[in-house]
Structure 1
Amino acid sequence: MFHYKLNDHLILRQLQMDDAKAMFMAVESCREDLREFLPWIEATRQPSDCLAFIDLCLQSAERRQSLNLGIFENRKLIGCVNYNFIDWQNGSTSIGYWLDPMYQKKGIMTSAVQVLIDYAFYTLRLNRVEIRAATYNKKSRAIPEKLGFQKEGIIRQGEWLYDHYEDLVVYGLLAREWKH
């Protein structure tokens, strides 16, 4: 099971079934902020929705197809960071993330994403990490820009968000470019 200590108060660890209630509470506490960019928020209406999601995450991790981590501050779930899908044939993955707005702009997510980049390149021996974000999501876009990703382009209408399509910026980072 993946477990990483970011500092004295923050840890990254793989989500477990008994995290479902904590995940639901975290989502519920910042639902309106998360809804702006995350299409799965509307489908997350009760703790059992999080339980089903975590079950799928654990099955996918067992098959080495993804990795979903909770970000915990003193045992309180404050966000998640993950490999959406690991493409072993092409040596690549895509990172996604969300964080309670009360904890944003403190470098927490940048540190968490940096851990996943290290793990992708040094442990999993992948060649490429990608991050996609809505063109107007400046907070999410700031992370790959800060970490040295290359802006590779725009996927026009790349994500359905409730009642409309959103354009996505694609950022890529190759193992040989990673200097941390």
Structure 2
Amino acid sequence: MMQTLEIKDETAIEAEWAQPERRIALTQRFFKTYPVPEEHQKKWDKAPKVDSAVARLSRQTAIPAEEAAFKDPLDRRMESILKRSYTQAAAILRPAVASAGLARTARHWALELARHPPASKQQLQLEVDKLSTTLSFLAESTLEITRLAAKATSNAVVARRALWLRYWTGDTASKMRLLSLKFTGESLFGPDLKQIISD
């Protein structure tokens, strides 16, 4: 049984939770580091479109338009957050798939190295360097997974906040301010809510 591990990269999680409305920019470097086949890109890189039949039911019009489906600003924000949440959660798949494949390969290399140790010290050093490079990539990709997962959880928090504020009669600006409060992981709105309420 594995022991509970100390979380060393908690600052990456806290940084994403501190600004739950902030978007993560997936850079060209990200896409080059974690390439996937085109059929996966189509499914992972964009949130799925609403089926036209459902969009028509929602809008009561003949011409469905996703962007115009919601009249309430909070509903539009919730839709936007949920679409962003999908793409950011799906982005986790890229480094996760790359890491899983590379980890299996590194395990194979290590087993082969143990079974058939190189005759020369120089060849051993080359094998160790190869494993070290692999471990460096795995360390970076797991940190990327952590950051993206933290952002996905903060998106879920913002969507839940919007749901809970939906029927509150407060003005839109106040609702949007509450959506963007820092998330601390314990309660939906956190300690900053008490300060805002007391103001």
Q: Normalization by structure 1: what TM-score?
A: 0.28
Q: Which has the higher strand share?
A: 1
Q: Normalization by structure 2: what TM-score?
A: 0.26
- Structure number with larger C-alpha Rg: 2
